[in-house]
Chain A
Amino acid sequence: MGLALMAVIWLITLASTYFFVAKTWWLPVGAAEAAGFIDHQFALTFVIMGVVFLAAQLSLGYFAWKYRDHPGAAPVKYSHGNNRLEIMWTVLTTILFVGLNLMGGPVWASQRWDPPAADSVQVEVTGMQFAWYFRYPGPDGKYGATSPKLMDPSAGGEAAIGLSSSDAAAKDDVVTGTMYLPVNREVDLSLRAVDVIHSFFIPSLRFKQDAVPGLNIHMHIKPTAIGEYEILCAELCGLGHYKMHGVVHVVSQEDFDKWLAAREAEKQ
């Protein structure tokens, strides 16, 4: 029985580890500035936890076989434990776990504490059942007023987020259902939700943040590779949760300007 148990535990352990090490399924290719650090930290955590995982599981299986009760087995080593060992593994685990955690501080801070760069692109993201809307403030750099009274989700676009036509700052606001961002420029995101909590998740940009009714959450990211990336809703928001997705097009500055100008022209 000890042998069977060892075989099964070892097999499960090695098979599980294989798919991690072979990266059969892994983080999607990163296309934002933070991806470098996050992926590195993920890999480092993975190596450390992987070693502990292998050591613990393999010795668990080995002990089960080695110390099984059988006629020739050695007598039990009567012991109530060892305080020096207890202290040693307490201290080691503490250093390892807390140290690993402290390493992530700077990147967390850069995305969420520090203000965005002065020349960043402003985009407001609004989540509602079950769509994302993106608003660009236009040449005046100011978002126009919105009003809950004007919100009409069935109409889409400006009407969905309740953009007020009487506000001068709203005249040049562009509202779209597809997101465009220039590459290698910081984006100052402003996240809102009108009905329930949604979560703005772009796996390739290593970005996720809940959009919460009543809050306007600022966050910044910097896409670093041109391409199309999928946007998902990560927070359960109702029956159409699984359908609440979109696309972000990361394009060159030139293409971005062209695209935005075309949207402005459409609006006039």
Chain B
Amino acid sequence: MVAMENPHGHAPQGFIRKYIFSLDHKVIGIQYFFLALTAVWVGMFLSLLMRIHLLWPSAVIPLMGEIKPETYLSLLTMHGTIMVFFVLTTAPQGGFGNYFLPIQIGAPDMAFPVLNMLSFWTTFVAFIVMLAAFFVTGGAPLHGWTGYPPLSAVQSAGPGEGLGADLWVTSIAIFCIASLMGALNFITTTLDLRAKGMTLMRMPLTVWSWFITAILGLLAFGVLLSAGILLLMDRNIGTSFYVPLVVVNGQIMGHKGGSPLLWQHLFWFFGHPEVYIAILPGMGVASQVLSTFSRKPIFGYKAMVYAMLAIGFFGFMVWGHHMFMSGMSPYSAFTFSILTMCIGVPSAIKTFNWLGTMYKARIRFQTPMLYAIGFVSLFVSGGLSGPFLAQPVLDIQLHDTYFVVGHFHLIMGVAAIFGMFAATYYWFPKMFGRMMNETWGRIHFFLTLAGTYAIFMPMHYLGMAGGTRRYSDYREVKYLATLIPLHQFMTYAAIITIGAQFIFMINLFWSMFRGPKASDNPWEATTLEWTTATPPPHDNFAGVTPVVYHGPYEYGVPGAAKDYVMQTDPVGVSAH
């Protein structure tokens, strides 16, 4: 433990130091939350335009006109990039992790508050740079969120591959720097600032998930940063890291000897761990919420921790499964596929344990719990298409089809977002001091669950039938044209589901100002954030350092006074 003089005894008074350039991890967490909330609406709006274009290719959109094929590709590029970086990476870790990791381990703040502020504002700059790509000549890039060179490296390869693509790469590089700063902070805080008695095996699974996510981020974002810098050099100063001799539109480009596959290796070395960066915090929240609302200890706490560690470990050894069709050696494809199947095992363990937690429980169905159960359902559905794609022989048919799109949207998109919804409904009272509306929460849940399944399940059918992804028009190819009814269904489902998100927004903002006042521990939960005031004071525990006596999920303890024992309760259960 580092003996730290608490520099946060006095809360800053000025508006700017308190709310804008704040060093308080709670304020920074809320800033990340609202940044991600803005980004998710941008990303969702782009997907709406895509779905509308697929159904009505010549529809005229106000202010945009007709969506051209290249505009469609820009939309999908920016949708993917914004969602992956500024939503799935930003909200679960930067948002909820920042706010609750220090409180859950009994610390007054993050280990490096200034670094924390810097990492938020750097992320903010990255977001602005990313959005700027829409407004430059040529518009946003069309190379997809994966940005494979030479398409992404040669300026004349398509509209948007000029300044727009430079801004895109630059934004990602800036984002990497922000994430590296954040990751360092999370790791140091978890290792050094735990309260007395908060051993590693007493940490809530949320803390474990943020901690492991931070390690993944530290190892993955450095690689993407380097890869991005090389791409910028290929684009602008004539290097040839990724580009061999190519002839674009009959013009010989000045490159020689580069390897397009190098980018793919570097990108996916980041890209696959990124999937777990997005989903691990969701797993943590689902575990926390399932245990709390089942009124039962999490089933197999240690197995859950080891499973997350195994996922993190294997997560770095499976990137090649994105490249079975890339021209990579077929021998290595075989190795990557075996390792990929192995990563399915800890994921399966987690699912069994979530079901085990609900078994013989007494489940309370407040909105956070609905979302946690929804998370498990989506995790199962999205996960089980994994073993199809992990087999190279099946990937021959399924690679780059909608089957893949359905797979990753269910698991790293929607499941992760359900994790965020669970987190929002669960921690909102602590963050904002008021309760969200239950009825509207439930309506929002059922519409979103049914809606997201209706959007993404048909993508699997489409993919099996050979429906290729990233096509702006399906009427060109005969058999693709026969699949248009599926697209129609998905577009209608998307419109309804996106509409349902307004319910969430209204509930969020209305409750922030008008919701009933929340008590300190409205869910009767056991972890440290529920021992302090609502909302927590500037230094989290009002000068008192908590002491921890128990594991995080002591619910339904036989012989205890109540059906739950707080982590800080000196009496209660035999130690776990």
Contact = CB atoms under 8 A, between A and B. Distances in A.
Interface of A: 1-2, 4-5, 8-9, 12, 16, 19-20, 24-28, 34, 37-38, 41-42, 45-46, 49, 52-53, 56-57, 59-60, 63-64, 67-69, 73-82, 85-86, 89-90, 93-94, 97-98, 100-102, 104-105, 107-109, 111-113, 128-129, 148-149, 151-154, 162, 194-197, 199, 201, 203, 206-210, 212-215, 217, 230, 232-243, 245
B361 A67 contact: yes
Interface in B309-354: 325-327, 330-331, 333-334, 337-338, 341-342, 344-345, 348-349, 351-353
Interface of B: 68-70, 73, 142-144, 148, 150-151, 154, 157-159, 243-250, 252, 257-261, 294-303, 325-327, 330-331, 333-334, 337-338, 341-342, 344-345, 348-349, 351-353, 355-356, 358-365, 370, 373, 376-377, 380-381, 384-385, 387-388, 390-394, 396-397, 399-401, 442, 446, 449-450, 453, 457-458, 460-462, 464-466, 468, 470-474, 476-479, 483, 486, 555-558, 563, 576
B297 A78 contact: yes
Contacts of A1: 365, 370, 442
Contacts of A2: 363, 365
B388 A85 contact: no
B333 A238 contact: no
B295 A76 contact: yes
B248 A242 contact: no
Contact of A42 (B159, B361, B394): B394
Given A56-B355, A60-B376, A67-B361, 12 more contacts: A20-B461, A25-B461, A52-B380, A57-B381, A60-B358, A69-B365, A78-B297, A153-B250, A206-B396, A217-B327, A241-B73, A243-B476
Nearest to A160: B250
A63 to B, nearest CB: 4
B349 A90 contact: yes
Contacts of B352: 85-86, 89
A79 B247 contact: no
Nearest to B392: A108
Contacts of A213: 150, 243-246, 260
A67 B247 contact: no
A84 to B, nearest CB: 11
B359 A67 contact: yes
A64 B358 contact: yes
B345 A90 contact: yes
Nearest to A229: B479
A2 to B, nearest CB: 6
B248 A67 contact: no
A80 B352 CA distance: 13
Nearest to B401: A234
Contacts of A9: 373, 377
Contacts of B450: 8, 12
B151 A196 contact: yes
Contacts of B483: 25
A108 B334 contact: yes
A76 B360 contact: yes
B150 A245 contact: no
Nearest to A68: B363
A5 B373 contact: yes
Contacts of A217: 327
A234 B468 contact: yes
A104 B246 CA distance: 35
B98 to A, nearest CB: 30
A45 B300 contact: no
Given A57-B380, A76-B555, A8 B465 contact: no
A97 B387 contact: yes
B381 A53 contact: yes
A206 B325 CA distance: 12
